[in-house]
Amino acid sequence: MKVCGFVLAAGLGTRIRALFPDLPKPLVPVSGRPAICWPLSFLEKCGASRVIINTHYRREVMRTALPGLVPGGMELVLSEEERILGTGGGILKARQWFRGFDWLVVVNADILTDLRPLRLLHRAMAEGSDVHLVLSPRGPGTERGRIGREPSGDLWFRGEERPAGTRSGVFLGIHFVRPCVFEGIDLEGTPSIIDLYRRMRTERRRLRVSFTRAFWVDLGTEDGYRRALEHFGSGRTKDRSEEG
Give DSSP secondary structure letters for 95-107: GGGTTT-SEEEEE
Q: What is the per-residue pLDDT across 166-218, written as a single tens digit (0 to 9) for each?
A: 999 999 999 999 999 999 888 877 788 999 999 999 898 999 999 999 999 99
CB 138 within 8 A of CB 213: yes
Domain 3-135+173-207 has CATH 3.90.550.10: yes
DSSP 83: S
Domain ranges of the chain: 3-135+173-207
CB 166 within 8 A of CB 144: no
* Report field, pTM of the whole predicted structure over 0.85: yes
Q: What is the per-residue pLDDT across 98-147, written as a single tens digit (0 to 9) for each?
A: 999 999 999 999 999 999 899 999 999 999 999 999 999 988 766 666 89
Residue 77 pLDDT: 98
Residue 145 pLDDT: 63
